[in-house]
Structure 1
Amino acid sequence: MRRGTGALAMALALGAATAANAQSFDNRSVMALHRAGLGPDVIIAKIRALPCNYDTSTEAIIALSSAGVAQDVIVAMVDKCTGSSRAQGVNNASADPLVKHAPGIYLLESAQPAKMTMLRPAASAGLKVTGNGSILFPLMAKLTVTQAQAQTVIHGSRPTFYFYFNADDEKVNTFGTVGSAAAQSPNEFSLVKFRVDKNTRQFVVGRVQPYVEVVGVDPKNTLPFDAEDMGDGIFRIQFAADLPAGEYAFVLPGGKTSFRIYDFSIP
């Protein structure tokens, strides 16, 4: 492969790379719009435009009705969530990891009182390309994430995570969604360690040098983890060795052009 051809291929493949970000619109958001005086038509349009992120349990519906939220709005929420695990009685407040939670990645914090903390996806600031494509200085594309540290800070070197999937409906939940389908297994994710550069974090998503071209997360730059299937779409993630202090993320590649980044920090 000619060096110029490889550089052009990576530029075309990765030039549009972004981190997929989902809007968070839940029961509290519906209540906020209602209190602001917006009519049912506006709220329903918002509900229909975004994936299910609502609590449609009996208690939650009663709370919405008691607050004066229109019946048509509540029906729209239930319709949007039909088939999702949220509509099947999830309990995000439970510290028991075997209780079904909304789809996502959760950190099990064992300090008393124990709790499950959900990792939220991070936003990408774009690509940084370095090098000239030679053997000594390969052309490197690095996805950068704003801020030097993740919001989720873990006080321990061997954390335990739980992945929750809604295996019955690939297109209802927003967890891990890249393109049109939601992730279904931890094996679709890679664990990477960021390189911190000033006020950004970076990891390599492309490399070009003579006779070598890698597009996407290079397996050589990933860290191993053990995923145990606990049943009902629940997976426990553990590590065989301590993780050194640093910035990490579970990354879901979506082809060549987008990534979902769930980051955490070990100080």
Structure 2
Amino acid sequence: MSAFPQQSAMAWQAAAVAAPDILTNDKILRLVAAGLPDQTIIAKIRASKSAFDLSTDQLIALKNKGVSGAVLATMLEPAPAAAALAAEMSIDSGDTNVPHYPGVYMYGAESQTMTRILASASDQAKTGGIIGYALTAGIASASIKAAIPGKSAKVRTRRTRPAFYFFFDESVPRALQGNGASIWMSGAGSITSSPGELSLVRFDEKAAAREARVGSMNIAGAKTGVMDKDRIAFETEEVRPGVFKVTPSTDLAPGEYGFIQTLSGGNGGRTGAMSARVFDFGIVPAF
């Protein structure tokens, strides 16, 4: 079995590497030395956290090293008030340049608006194939399944290949970042920053809930992550920093689906204890 990720620690490390950096005087000098135009550097300043030294001596030093007056003025601008920025954030605008609350949105082509898919947490796990696991003393694998609450998703569409937009923390104005809470926080304390850290799957539909295979266990231990054969491929396009358009690579049949991210594994190998973040949606028949 090949799992994605094979170990949840790999996803945590990837998120940590890709986390937004903090701009300093030295980094501004590096951007200038790289030949980036002023408008690009200014956009970077306004979209990033910063820890500038703006003392008189440092401003003179930056000017002497080629930093333009426009860039220096932007560095001196106070961060916008968080309350004002929050009022400008949207949960349904179809314009990806409009700040959105972090999360996953389904785009409606007809309405040209977005519908926010609220994340649900699955902290209940069950095992499948346990009889074979027991009869072979753990040589045969047993699957670990996450239970997704509810019989069906609230967000539904008739489109067989819907478009989704992922808004990560990097897309949020810096005045609203850094409060210690994030919908994209992983189990290791790092921040998810790419759709590639989630898997698109079709759920097994039960009488009162839905299930997704999120790992396996055998005598060698437990693995977390969606199996390759259960993953549905999708195309990813970075629209702007922190914003990605995601489209399934093939048409989806009517049913229950979701983007799922395993957040933690078992306790060392023998149990199915885990948790997962799920953004669920449904495909309904056209007629």
TM range (shorter): 0.5 to 0.7
Who is 1:258 aligned against?
275
1:81-130 superposed Cα distances (whole Å, 9 cap, x missing partner): 9779954943334222332211111100112x321100001243611223
Q: How does 1:99-118 map to 2 (within 5 A)?
A: 99-111=98-110, 113-118=111-116
Q: Which amino acid aligns with 1:197?
A: K
Given residue 178 of structure 1, which amino acid in structure 2 is its aligned partner? S
Give, in whole Å, the separation in 2 of the partners of 1:101 and 1:173.
16
The match for 2:194 is 185
Output the CA distance in 2 between the equivalents of 1:85 and 1:150: 33
Query: How big is the shift at 1:215?
Result: 2.6
* 1:160 and 2:163 matched: yes
CA shift in 2, pair 1:227/1:173, >3 Å = farther
Cα distance between partner residues in 1 of 2:115 and 2:84: 18
Which residue does 2:240 correspond to in 1? Answer: 231
| Cα contact 1:86–1:102 (8 A) shared by 2 | no
Q: Which amino acid aligns with 1:160?
A: A
Matches within 5 A, 1:81-230: 87=86, 89-111=88-110, 113-124=111-122, 126-130=124-128, 131-132=130-131, 133=133, 134=136, 138-167=141-170, 169=177, 172=180, 174-179=182-187, 180-209=189-218, 213-230=222-239
Contact 1:139 1:208 in 2 (8 A): yes
Larger Cα Rg: Structure 1 or Structure 2? 2
Identical aligned residues as a percent: 27
Describe the superposition over 1:187-218 as per-residue Cα deviations: whole angstroms up to 9, x where unpaired. Answer: 11111111012111001122234668533322
Instruction: Give ranges in structure 1 of 5+ residues lacking alignment.
Output: 1-12, 14-80
CA contact (8 A) 1:138 1:209 kept: yes
1:170, 1:181 within 8 Å by CA — same for their partners in 2?
Answer: no
- Matched to 2:108, the amino acid is E
Change (3 A) 1:213 1:182: closer
Q: TM-score, normalised by structure 2?
A: 0.57
Residues 240, 141 of structure 1: alpha-carbon distance in 2 compared, 3 angstrom cutoff: closer
| SS of aligned partner of 2:157 | coil
Contact 2:161 2:247 in 1 (8 A): yes
> Does the C-alpha gap of structure 1 residues 247 and 87 become closer, same or farther in structure 2, counting only changes over 3 Å?
same
TM-score (norm 1): 0.61
Give 3-state SS (helix, strand or coil) of 1:220's partner.
helix
Give the stretch that moved more between structures: 209-218 or 238-247: 209-218
Distance 1:232-1:89 versus aligned 2 partners, 3 A rule: farther
In structure 1, what is the Cα distance between the partners aligned to 2:179 and 2:159?
35
Cα deviation for residue 239 of structure 1 reads 2.1
RMSD (CA atoms): 3.0
CA distance in 2, matches of 1:220, 1:170: 38
Q: Is the 8 A contact 1:86 1:101 kept in 2?
A: no
In the alignment of these two chains, the number of paired residues is 187
Q: What displacement does 1:170 show?
A: 6.6
8 Å CA contact 1:90–1:100 kept in 2: the answer is yes
